[in-house]
Amino acid sequence: MRPNSAFRSPRRWLAMLAVAGVFCAGLGAVSSEPIRKSFATIANPSLLLHSHSGTISVKGWDQNQVEIKGERASESMDVLIDGNAEKVTIQTHPKRQNLSPQEAQVNLEIHVPRQTLVRVESERGDIAVEDLEGGVAVEGVANSVTLSRIRGYITARTVDGPILIRASEGHIKADSITGDLKFVQVNGSELIGTTNSGAIHYQGDFGSGGTYVLHNYSSPIEIQAFPKASFDMTARSVLGTIESQIPFLPLPPGTPFRRSTTGKLLQGRIGTGKSTVQITSYSGTIRLSGGR
Amino acid sequence: MKCEEFEREWQELDDSALLSPALEEHRQVCSPCAGKVRDVNLIRWQARQMVEAEQPPERVWLHLRRQLDQQGLIREPGAWPSLARLVTFAWLPRLPLGLAYAAVFFLALGGVLYLRDLVTHVSAPSPAPATAVAQPPAASPPAETLTRAEAVQKAIEAAPPEVRRVIEKAPPDRQPAYVANWQELNPSFTRVDSSINVLEQYVAAHPDDPLARSQLYTVYEQQNRLLELLMRGEEFR
């Protein structure tokens, strides 16, 4: 008996190497195995997503279904998905310690019913949420956050990533520490935008008769009011300047903040003064334009 | 202090993350120098991540080596086949077998790499074995640990009081992660601390200014949020 006879033929060992290669290729394919899962839901479920790194897209659609697609940068990340008709949770979790941000990346694209209440927590990566009416909360660190066509309660926070909210309405709160805030065609009963050293840009008509509060410590605040805008404005910068190209009318007597204070102060009315706008900065320049 | 003096004194420090009060004072008011310190701290932090790159435990290599040795595919120096055996090409018929074993070896290696997370998770929860593999024997791992512990302690001592309080209250095994978080968030901490100092002075001089008090309150909230973030996600450090 010759136990090694099977290996004496070059064809056999070439075949073995080929099989080994195919097996290794299979392993490689497994490491990039896509994430796909869906849940039939009620019309207004909740979605909770806790991710560490990677791009996140959440879009509303006209189906009572949550659909999750995604991919991992490495097999070192677990993606735990659990759900039922009322609630879907997604959590990325490292299998080992000391993962780099690149290894921890999980990119997710999620479709949810429009009335879904969405909460996203993440440390790194772009976050985009759009076409929702059930309320959105985003908690980021170094993320770039973009919220589009959202109605309802909107909360977005970052440490050093920019926040852009556009074509949205509701009760809106956006704050960052060093990130910029940008609002384009955003209206609501209340909008509060706060950043320490980021710039603030608002472009719109301050509609819905709401209260708009924008303030930072330093960096410019730029307001571009649309022609149909109607609001009472109080702008103040303690050490910075105020540059206005808006033809404000004087405010009626009894308006708050009218007493004399240090620094630059501008108060005035556009249209019938339906909404209230307060802009403050300690050392940033406030620029106002538009409104005709 | 001028920027040139700052650079000269900074370069002479044993630990560039540990600034003297004079250097710290200059850093607070000079954004170019603050940027340099931030960049160097970031590079140091990233370098530490590279050192900690995961590798299979040493026992995996030893096991593979022992198996290959038993199969006669590798030998210690001095134990090579005799010249006569080489000359007579007696090894030639075993070449396919050797290549097959090599294929199995690489397959096993791939498997080990692929399953390394599972292996380290089940039997080696501490990342210490990876360091042991990366560093040749001797006593280098304890030295590394000691250096890192010292660096963590120095960083804690250099942190602002409110940050130091949070880190010191953490369990010792989590303190390095909190220090790493602080180094990452340091630019934001610096800006917020600076804002607080300025606004506190302004409010003290203008106690009847409601907007300034409101701004100061907002900045306090931002500082609290940063302190909360110190304690996040230590598994990623």
Distance separating alpha carbons of residues A93 and A87, to the nearest angstrom: 19
The verdict on a CB contact (< 8 Å) between B225 and A177 is yes
- B118 or A159: which leads in pLDDT: A159
Domain ranges of chain B: 1-51, 58-134, 159-237
A contacts of B49 (beta carbons < 8 Å): 98, 100
- Inter-chain contact B215–A100, Cβ cutoff 8 Å? no
Give the lowest-confidence range in A23-27, A50-54, B54-58: A23-27
Which residues on chain A are in Cβ contact (under 8 Å) with B229?
141, 159
* pLDDT score of B229 more than 90: no
Site of tokens 């409101």: B214
Distance, in Å, from the CA atom of A143 to the CA atom of A123, rounded to the nearest integer, reads 6
- Which residue out of B46, B121, B188 would a mutagenesis test of the A interface target, given it has the greatest number of A Cβ atoms within 10 Å? B188
What pLDDT does A24 receive?
A: 45
| Residue A108 near residue A57 (C-beta atoms within 8 A) | yes
Residue A65 distance to chain B (closest CA, Å): 31
Q: Has residue A132 got a pLDDT over 90?
A: yes
CA distances from A249 to A33, A119, A233, A268, A277 (A): 62, 42, 10, 5, 14
pLDDT tens for each residue of A225-279: 999 999 999 999 988 999 999 999 988 776 665 555 567 899 999 999 999 999 9
Helix (DSSP H) and strand (DSSP E) numbers for chain B:
12, 0
Q: Using the beta-carbon criterion (under 8 Å), do B114 and A178 form an inter-chain contact?
A: no
Global pTM value: 0.66
